[in-house]
């Protein structure tokens, strides 16, 4: 969303290759209408707008069940002050980027959300298949295993309702280092930093997933060898009717070649936006991204 045609053209040029359907709007009102009619993987909101600004649009998004969990990246001219950043992250911003935008970084960030959206859709389809065996061409357990075993760029972790690990797929071992034999039966908070465990972050994440249907996060995690890595992830509840059976957590390594030093300030880490593969406002099987006045759709790559 941006009220300037030139800015929208720049965004469309940068994001043309992400394999998403781009939806450009020039006002907050138009963005909200699109969100009511379509599913989006990501929304890019310009902060400075003449009527509804980016923050006001985000506040209204968070009030509607259909759009309350859609990730938001705020865009603005110039570096924001601390108060502006606090307001953005209080609204659940995934990132806050200052113009002029770094094209490669923006594409990377958007790509991550597009990929997460698609993988989430695949898992939802798998879960639906488990509930309806007639939809699956193969035995249910085999079908689900094939899907999860091919998510090699992602760590898929299944837990019981208490957060104890029950499933540890190949991607989890590749990214996190523990084998399935080592991980299964352990508390899933073992991949969180000690300070996050002490602050109750893992439990809070499960509670958000349980209450809203999903909990997205971007934070530092731990590998088996003690190294930290920055990750984009999502946690979803696994239900059998009204009964909570457990959780599925999907994690993608988003650490850049030069990772933040341990002494980096929390505010600096919060403003950093890594990510390979990135942007989106999308609906399956295509991705949509909201940014301007015209509605242009790009075929998925």
Task: Check whether residue 184 and residue 240 sit in a common domain.
Answer: yes
Task: Give the domain range for residue 180.
Answer: 137-271
Q: Is residue 132 part of a domain?
A: no
**In a 10 Å sphere around its CB, with 0-12 CB exposed, 13-18 middle and 19+ buried, how is residue 51 labelled?**
exposed
Q: Is residue 276 part of a domain?
A: no
Q: Average the pLDDT over 218-224 and give the result.
A: 91
Q: Which residues contact 124 (CB under 8 A, 6 or more apart)?
A: none
Q: Is residue 266 part of a domain?
A: yes
Task: Check whether residue 143 and residue 64 sit in a common domain.
Answer: no
Q: Average the pLDDT over 153-170 and give the result.
A: 88
Q: What pLDDT does 279 receive?
A: 32
Q: Is residue 153 part of a domain?
A: yes
Q: Is residue 124 part of a domain?
A: no
Q: Is residue 115 part of a domain?
A: no
pTM of the model: 0.48
Task: Check whether residue 171 and residue 260 sit in a common domain.
Answer: yes
Which of 51-60, 73-82, 167-176, 252-261 bottoms out in mean pLDDT, i.e. has the lowest?
252-261
Task: Check whether residue 285 and residue 237 sit in a common domain.
Answer: no
Instruction: Pull the structure tokens for residue 199.
Output: 């602050």
Name the domain count of the chain: 2
Q: Is residue 246 part of a domain?
A: yes
Task: Check whether residue 147 and residue 230 sit in a common domain.
Answer: yes
Q: Is residue 300 part of a domain?
A: no
Which of 74-88, 109-123, 241-255, 273-287 bottoms out in mean pLDDT, i.e. has the lowest?
273-287
CATH number of the CATH domain containing 85? 3.40.50.2300
Q: What confidence tens digit (pLDDT) does each residue in 168-183 have?
A: 888 899 899 999 999 9
Contacts of the segment 31-36: beta carbons below 8 A, 24+ positions apart? 31/1, 31/57, 31/290, 32/57, 32/60, 32/61, 32/64, 32/67, 34/288, 34/290, 35/61, 35/64, 35/66, 35/67, 35/70, 35/290, 36/64, 36/66, 36/67
């Amino acid at each position: 969303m941006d009220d300037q045609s030139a800015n929208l053209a720049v965004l469309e040029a940068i994001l043309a290759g992400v394999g998403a359907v781009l939806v450009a709007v020039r006002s907050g009102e138009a963005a909200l209408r699109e969100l009511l009619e379509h599913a989006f993987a990501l929304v890019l909101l310009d902060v400075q707008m003449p009527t509804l600004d980016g923050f006001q649009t985000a506040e209204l998004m968070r009030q509607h069940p259909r759009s309350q969990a859609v990730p938001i990246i705020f865009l603005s001219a110039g570096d924001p002050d601390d108060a502006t950043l606090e307001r953005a992250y209080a609204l659940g911003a995934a990132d806050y980027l200052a113009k002029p935008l770094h094209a490669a970084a923006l594409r990377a960030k958007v790509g991550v959300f597009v990929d997460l959206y698609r993988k989430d859709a695949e898992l939802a389809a798998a879960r639906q298949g488990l509930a309806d065996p007639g939809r699956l061409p193969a035995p249910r357990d085999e079908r689900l295993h094939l899907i999860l075993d091919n998510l090699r760029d992602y760590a898929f972790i299944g837990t019981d309702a208490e957060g104890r690990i029950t499933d540890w797929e190949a991607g989890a071992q590749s990214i996190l280092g523990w084998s399935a034999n080592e991980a299964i039966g352990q508390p899933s908070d073992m991949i969180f930093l000690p300070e996050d465990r002490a602050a109750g972050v893992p439990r809070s994440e499960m509670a958000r997933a349980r209450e809203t249907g999903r909990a997205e996060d971007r934070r530092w995690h731990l590998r088996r060898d003690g190294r930290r890595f920055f990750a984009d992830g999502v946690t979803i509840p696994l239900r059998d009717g009204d009964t909570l059976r457990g959780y599925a957590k999907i994690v993608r390594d988003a650490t850049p070649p030069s990772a933040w030093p341990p002494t980096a300030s929390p505010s600096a880490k919060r403003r950093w936006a890594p990510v390979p593969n990135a942007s989106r406002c999308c609906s399956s099987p295509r991705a949509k991204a909201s940014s301007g006045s015209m509605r242009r759709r790009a075929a998925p790559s």
